[in-house]
Structure 1
Amino acid sequence: MALVLDLLNRDPRPNIGNPKAEAPAPAAELRHPEKQKRPENPILRKPDWIRVKAPGSPKWAETQKIVKENKLVTVCEEAGCPNIGECWEKKHATFMIMGDTCTRACAFCNVKTGVPQPLDQDEPHKVAQAVAKLGLEHVVITSVDRDDLKDGGAEHFARVIRAIREASPGTTIEILTPDFLRKPGALEVVVAAKPDVFNHNLETVPGKYLTVRPGARYFHSLRLLQRVKELDPTIFTKSGIMVGLGEERNEILQLMDDLRSADVDFITIGQYLAPSRKHHAVIRFVTPEEFKGFEAIAYVKGFLMVSSTPLTRSSHHAGEDFAKLRAARSAKLG
């Protein structure tokens, strides 16, 4: 714990003491995202191990129908997840709340950037009804960044959690949240709603934040995860990163240590895939053997659960992984 607190006193980015450097993008830029156009990057040919089957099964279609009928947004679609066919076949969907427009423009993300619409106050009910109709044992709820809201959308997250608990009491709930940067008290509101798993992704190593995740702060995200455990030690914490962005192996190992210092239970490591030529380039495809090596090291470092494969994503196999996570904690406690 003390290590993470010490880390808060340093930051890998320049101009950390300059308030202007800390400020999110001005509203004018958000209204005109074309001003933030990135140069086109080459697209590397995907190796065989990264290829997946196209969706289209009857069960996939049934899941799609329920999502559309309830006018819901899923990160499966918005982020172009390669696992959508497999997950929707199993009636697993990750719901993205608070709209489809993000107030940030991360270089890896396919979700559109701009000025979001007002919150749909009926969304918690819609999500809860979809969860009940799908008969989900475990559900993942994520969102766009909503820097425009006073609490970053914390109360909306809490309302969704409470609505699911009421409509489907047996469903376990995993949330994948923004960082609630400069939103005092927001995290406490979400934790008080008692999700079963609190996930917040670091996404990449600190040295890549300026180019990959410029609107975020590495040590703020790390402290957020640590604070969840301080507020409620019973909640599982989880974080994930992408590899293939040009990071070094020793940087990944240091990130693992940082997460363990924050008492994070579960780490996911997956291959970055560029959504388009406008996004950050794939520097290289990490081999399956390297992913297995990261998995072994992460377990040695003390994580209760590790998912490290080329196609690993934050919510991929989330239900099965949650069951393993609970079993690992029980075994550890004896």
Structure 2
Amino acid sequence: MTVKPDWLRVKAPQWERVGSVKEILRDLALNTVCEEASCPNIGECFNAGTATFLIMGPACTRACPYCDIDFEKTPKAIDPTEPERLAEAVRRMQLNHVVITSVNRDDLPDGGASQFVRCITAIREVSPQTTIEVLIPDLCGNWDALEIILQAQPEVLNHNTETIPRLYRRVRPQGNYDRTLELMRRSRELAPWVYTKSGLMVGLGETDAEIRAVMADLRAVDCDILTLGQYLQPSQKHLNVAEFVTPEQFDAWKQFGEELGFLQVVSSPLTRSSYHAEQVRELMQRYPRSRF
């Protein structure tokens, strides 16, 4: 694997706090994308007492060559106790903001939308002050399923674009760029009070102009929040890194995104989709929205 530059080195976490979070996750038999996808920020986030919960997993029905989540196992039946266990973890960790994501469950008629709703409902019952962000798959274009999730009123609806259109066939072979944009457009149309968010990986062979074009496409469907981060190869069997993008380039994209009108742009080599996601609470205070 290619040697990483200095700016991709992460600080060693305080393992006492990390261990406490891991103990809660193990005790409640919960998965996190932090662990399953080998996130480089796991130490920082666990140390801060946060995690991105991975529901309906850990086996995925898609085989994206950039992702470290297991796709070789057979997905299990939906666990009816998962929402309550997740809500209990939110209560124990005293989370102000929680991110719930999932593996792709193309084997389910609604793509798992109903389980997202159960998790949102369970969290609201035990921790009503916690704001909720859902990072959802594309649901195979099932817009009725998307509406089901939005009717549960998460504060943030996140769906990652991941890469530029030219690289979709190689990077995200079972995804569709136009479908991703349509999901973002419909989310704004169906629930204008929900903050919409998307994320991009870079370093896979895209150009600056291509990244900027995708950013413009996302603003054209009124996406509120954008994250940009460096792709890192989880193992030798995954896609190679084509380039380590400099922090200065990430700063330039942040400035461009703000000029386009994004409410928030989080752009740095180590940024991931839910990195510092709790900052959205500050954004919600600056740009309040109401359903009524």
TM-score category of the 2 structures, normalised to the smaller one: over 0.9
Aligned to 2:77: 118
Aligned to 1:304: 263
Aligned to 2:248: 289
| TM superposition shift of 1:53 | 2.6
- Identity between Structure 1 and Structure 2 (%): 51
Segments ≥4 residues shifted beyond 6 Å: none
Letter of the 1:118 counterpart: A
Tell me if 1:99 matches 2:54.
Answer: no
| TM superposition shift of 1:330 | 4.5
What RMSD over aligned residues (CA atoms) do the two structures have, in Å? 1.2
Separation in structure 1 between the aligned mates of residue 153 and residue 288 of structure 2, nearest angstrom? 19
1:103-182 maps to which residues of 2 (within 5 A)?
103-114=61-72, 115-182=74-141
**Which one of 16, 20, 25 corresponds to residue 67 of structure 1?**
25
Output the TM-score relative to the length of structure 2.
0.96
Aligned partners of 1:151 and 1:184 also within 8 Å? no
**Which one of 190, 204, 217 corresponds to residue 176 of structure 2?**
217
Separation in structure 1 between the aligned mates of residue 244 and residue 119 of structure 2, nearest angstrom? 37
The SS at the match of 2:185 is: helix
> What do residues 168-214 of structure 1 show as CA deviations (whole Å, max 9, x unaligned)?
11100001000001435110110000000000000001111000000
Aligned partners of 2:141 and 2:183 also within 8 Å? no
| TM superposition shift of 1:327 | 3.6
Letter of the 1:208 counterpart: L
Letter of the 1:265 counterpart: D
The SS at the match of 1:112 is: coil
Tell me if 1:234 matches 2:193.
Answer: yes
Letter of the 1:210 counterpart: R
**Which one of 245, 260, 266 corresponds to residue 225 of structure 2?**
266
Letter of the 1:98 counterpart: M
Letter of the 2:16 counterpart: P
Aligned partners of 2:131 and 2:281 also within 8 Å? no
Aligned to 2:15: 57
The SS at the match of 1:214 is: coil
| TM superposition shift of 1:56 | 4.9
Separation in structure 2 between the aligned mates of residue 246 and residue 328 of structure 1, nearest angstrom? 36
Letter of the 1:201 counterpart: N
> What do residues 90-144 of structure 1 show as CA deviations (whole Å, max 9, x unaligned)?
1101000001000000011000103201111110000001100110000000000
Q: Larger relative CO (CA 8 A, sep 6+): 1 or 2? A: 1
Q: Of the two, which has the highest radius of gyration? A: 1
* Structure 1, unaligned runs of 5 or more: 1-42
Aligned partners of 1:180 and 1:187 also within 8 Å? yes
Aligned to 2:280: 322
Aligned partners of 2:87 and 2:122 also within 8 Å? yes
Letter of the 2:54 counterpart: M
Separation in structure 2 between the aligned mates of residue 184 and residue 63 of structure 1, nearest angstrom? 35
Aligned partners of 1:140 and 1:174 also within 8 Å? yes
* Structure 2, unaligned runs of 5 or more: none
Aligned partners of 1:177 and 1:199 also within 8 Å? yes
> What do residues 134-179 of structure 1 show as CA deviations (whole Å, max 9, x unaligned)?
1000000000000000100000101100100001111000010000
Letter of the 2:58 counterpart: D
Aligned partners of 1:305 and 1:328 also within 8 Å? no
| TM superposition shift of 1:226 | 1.0
Output the TM-score relative to the length of structure 1.
0.85
